[in-house]
Amino acid sequence: MVVIQRVVKATTRKGKKILLKKEPQVAEGPKKLLFFQGRRSSEKLRRLSKDLYDLKKPDAQMLSKKNDITIFENATPVEAFCKKYESPLFIMSSHSKKRPDNLVIGRMYNYNLLDMIELHVEAHEGLKEFACSKIALASKPCLVFNGPQWEETEVFKHLKSLFVDIFHREKVESVSLQGLQHTISFTATPEGKILIRSYKVMMKKSGCKTPRVELEEMGEDFVFITA
């Protein structure tokens, strides 16, 4: 274990452990996601944030207060939030007349803004609207990207990186074969829309070792448009 060389030492062992955790590590754990609101928020956005938060638990945090933040002009308050809550990923939801149902997804490096993308939410159907048995919490999902645009356009490549970062939870060395229950698919239509679907995986018998995969739509349904 590396000894921390702080000028002011922590008085308790618990305090020392907390400070050690905040230092940069060689192997990093799952990235936390922070949800917060801008000046105004709409019903649709609130439900969407709540659903994503449920999906990302326990690696997520939701702030309920409204904040006077114009993120593309000044991102410093966002950096302060992320540093306080120790989350390198954030999603800001804001609603205004000129930019309705706006979602800004971004990430930080060393608590400085790395990149962010603004998306417009067109449609959303939550978890509750699907009558289906749900999966266990905190299982690592399989990610499927459909459409040639994910490899072609710069914006979509960037978005792909962001989505993988948000949904893949953490780097693992081995995965339980029974635990592969969740699949999320991201489809980029030629019109520039992004359709996100969430499925539960059911493994059926096939003639050989590898099972036949059947999907059942269990989760949220998002339609995003890149702003």
Partner 1 sequence: MDVVKSVLEKSAKEAENYKSIEVKKLIDIDVGALLAVDSNALDSKALRVSPNDYLLKLTRDNTQLLFNEIFELPTEKIDEVIVAKLPKQRFSLPRCKPVPKPRPLTKWQEFAKAKGIVKKKKSKLSWDEQLKKWIPLYGFRRTTAQKEKDWVLEVPQNANPMEDQFAKKIEAKSERVAKNELQRLRNIAKARNVKVPRFGISNPDVSSAKELQAAVTVAKSSTASLGKFQEKLPKEKEARGVSSITPGATRKRKLPPLSSSEEKSQNLNIADSVLNKRPKIDLEKAVSRHINEEQLQRSEEKKSERPKRQKRSGGGGGKKKPKSSNRSRKGKVAGGRKRR
- Kindly state the smallest distance separating residue 39's Cβ from partner 1, in Å: 28
- Interface segment toward partner 1; rule CB under 8 A; list 21-29, 42-50, 51-59, 63-71: 21-29
Q: Is 121 in the site for partner 1 (CB under 8 A)?
A: no
Task: Give min distance, CB of 54 to partner 1, in A.
Answer: 21
Which residue in 18, 80, 114, 155 binds partner 1 (CB under 8 A)? Answer: 114
User: Quick one: tokens of 121?
Assistant: 């939410």
138 dihedral zone (left: phi>0; alpha: psi -120 to 50; beta):
left
Rounded to whole angstroms, the Cα distance separating 141 from 185 reads 10
Would you list the DSSP string of 63-120? EEEE----TTT--HHHHHHHHHHT-SEEEEEE--SSS-SEEEEEEEETTEEEEEEEEE
122 vs 114: CA distance, rounded Å: 26
Using CB under 8 A as the binding rule, whether residue 68 contacts partner 1 is answered as no
Shorter beta-carbon distance to partner 1: residue 46 or 168: 168
Task: List the one residue out of 115, 114, 113, 91 whose CA is nearest residue 103.
Answer: 91
Per CB under 8 A, does 148 bind partner 1? yes
Does 177 sit near partner 1 (CB under 8 A)? yes
Among 147, 158, 225, 226, binds partner 1 (CB under 8 A): 147
Decide: is 112 part of the binding site for partner 1 (CB under 8 A).
no
Quick check: 140 binds partner 1 (CB under 8 A)?
yes
Our CB check for partner 1 shows the closer of 56 and 107 to be 107
Report the residue number, 37 or 183, with the smaller CB distance to partner 1. 183
Closest CA to 36 of 62, 75, 74: 62
